[in-house]
Structure 1
Amino acid sequence: MTDDTVTEIGWGSTTLDTRRALWSQPLGDEDRRLLWADATAGRWDGAAHVRDGLRAFTEESIRSVGFAHVPNLMDASADGGEIVEALSFVMRDFGEIIPQNAQGDLWQVLRERDGDGATELGFHCDTCDVLVLLCLQPAVLGGGDTKLASARYVREIIERERPDVLATLEEDWTFDRTGRAGQQVIVSPILFTQEDGTVGCYYQTRTVRTSPERGGPPLTERQWEALDVLDEVLYRPEIAFGLRLAAGDLLLIRNSRVLHGRSPYVDEPGPRARRVLRAWMNTGSR
């Protein structure tokens, strides 16, 4: 524990439903216009107060619950290149955008590929400090909600119900990410206590389960059981909070404290297909 200890809230789905002001603050149309003008010009002028308010809200929200939601940040119908440039400028206040794949892409538009929208994306943590998502087009035929889970709340439940499993999850695990951006092999506990006193997490269910096939240490029966218990807890209805992003909504997620996934969705081909702009960002803190 340090002098910089964070006031962290361990939350479930009901907590977030009833305390929306903790994590969501919409941008008014006039503030959005001013922000867009400054961001596209590449200098802060008329939107300096918007910048200050946005930074103060997101810092406090991420400090308390681990993520921040800003509806109506940008006009998602604007030119894609301009959106990337404008959002890159705004994000300079928060950290450094880093490559998110082996091709070195700093920004990527997520869309349905080979019908994968019909399947659920399991809970995981990306390998960066903060995940940046800007919704360009929601799934018009339903689904595609971002699913969020508090590492602290998950830990509290497992500690209460299965302290033996928690002890296993707090041991080192091997995540073989060969061929992906950043560190290729990561050895880390799945649940741990960070320097600021918050409960941390690092989890990729497919990566940790298949790492032995790529030369990592074999998993014991005790470890297989711990993974199964963790997955079962994560999918309890009181755990995950589902957030449906509207066009222009910004979502920032601190990966070391919040696990995220995505519900399945039904897409529509063409300009109304679901699209989400994604970036990975390092902030120099966990």
Structure 2
Amino acid sequence: MGAVTEIGWSSLELDARRELWSLPLGERDRRLLRADARAGRWESGVEVRDRLGEFARNAVDSVGVTQVRGLVDPARPEREATEVLSFLLRDFGRIVPQNGRGDLVAVLRDQGGDGGTELGLHCDTCDLLVLLCLRPAFDGGGLTRLASARHVHDLIQRERPDALATLREDWTFDRSGRPGPQVVVTPILYDRKDGTVGCYYQTRTVRSSPDRGGPELTDRQWEALGVLDEVLYRPETAFGLSMAAGDLLIVRNSRVLHGRSPFVDEPGPYARRMLRVWVNEGEEWAR
């Protein structure tokens, strides 16, 4: 496993370097991808696949995130967008279920008013988080929030090395009843084999673990969690990404935390609608 050139970033730095991680696709590209997805094999869209794959690989390796603007035409049927997405992701690895029913694609939308509540920064239990925006929130809310684990690590290292030492110890995340591993024992911030800084954090499951039989959190651990949250929610830490209809986002879970800002939904055909896919990488993408 070779070393990766990692770029840690603040919100301002990520915004200023969009050319590293955000790629636009044109109508011709979309048409070729659509035709090959319908056929179920790569033919006329091979050049688009190679260009997109190389860009995504470099961006996910260096920045930890990549955006493809205009991957699909939102005016076309949703089943077609799902078909294109599933076909394209074959080159990225294996799509894994998101619940006990075995659903491979989840639809993210306001449920019982939960869109009005901010979704805190966290990591999912898969290699790559994939989001495809079919319709953004009509009020401009619902931004996808992104934070660099390297940037967070370096800030805490400078300001509170004692808290960082605690965050680098093993923590227990009890995820009982959720898809994937039911109990995850891991440091919150750690060194990865490729030389990058990794992160695993789910604010509720780490705090509720003692209630489900896990070890009690010490005063030192509670303090470290408070330091982590304070750094995560500084304005300069997390970047708010506005995704347009048709945009694709790929996030490496071990390198970038993600969340969502609140939004007010519009019932009916104008409701916010986002597709989520979880991918575990194949050998050619594994890091």
TM over 0.5: yes
What is the letter of the counterpart of residue 32 of structure 1?
Answer: R
> 1-side partners of 2:85 and 2:75: how far apart?
14
1:20 alignment partner in structure 2: 18
Map residues 1-286 of structure 1 onto 2, 5 A cutoff: 4-284=2-282, 285-286=286-287
Tell me if structure 2 keeps the 8 A contact 1:77–1:136.
Answer: no
Deviation at 1:66, TM superposition (A): 0.2
Equivalent position amino acid for 2:267 in 1: P
Q: What is the aligned residue count?
A: 284
Normalised to the residue count of structure 1, the TM-score between the two structures is: 0.98
State which drifts further: 51-60 or 28-37: 28-37
Q: Is the 8 A contact 1:42 1:86 kept in 2?
A: no
Unaligned runs of 5+ in 1: none
Q: What is the TM-score when the length of structure 2 is the normalising length? A: 0.97
2: CA distance between counterparts of 1:179 and 1:104?
A: 14
C-alpha RMSD of matched pairs (Å): 0.9
Q: Equivalent residue of 2:111, what SS?
A: coil
The amino acid of 2:251's aligned partner reads I
SS across alignment from 2:266: coil
Distance 1:189 1:76 in 2: 40
Local SS of the residue matching 2:28: helix
Alpha-carbon distance, 1:38 to partner: 1.1
Q: Tell me which amino acid in the other structure corresponds to 2:55.
A: F
What CA distance in whole angstroms lies between the structure 2 residues aligned with 1:191 and 1:78?
42
Residues in 1 aligned to 2:10 and 2:85: alpha-carbon distance in whole angstroms: 30
Q: What is the deviation of 1:206?
A: 0.5
What one-letter code is carried by the residue in structure 2 that aligns with 1:224? W
Counterpart of 1:44 in structure 2: which amino acid?
W
Q: Offset of 1:79 from its aligned partner? A: 2.1
**How much has 1:78 moved relative to structure 2?**
2.3
Matches of 1:34 and 1:88, distance apart in 2: 15
Q: Deviations over 1:56-78 (max 9, x none)?
A: 00000001100100000001232
CA distance in 2, matches of 1:102, 1:204: 20
- Measured after TM superposition, the shift of residue 29 of structure 1 is 1.4
Structure 2 unaligned blocks of 5 or more:
none
**Distance of 2:34 and 2:20 partners within structure 1:** 25
Distance in 2, matches of 1:102 and 1:236, equals 36
Partner SS, residue 91 of structure 2: coil
C-alpha distance after superposition, 1:27-53 (max 9, x if no partner): 011111111111122111111100000
SS of residue matched to 1:92: helix
**Which residue identity lines up with residue 247 of structure 2 in the other structure?**
D
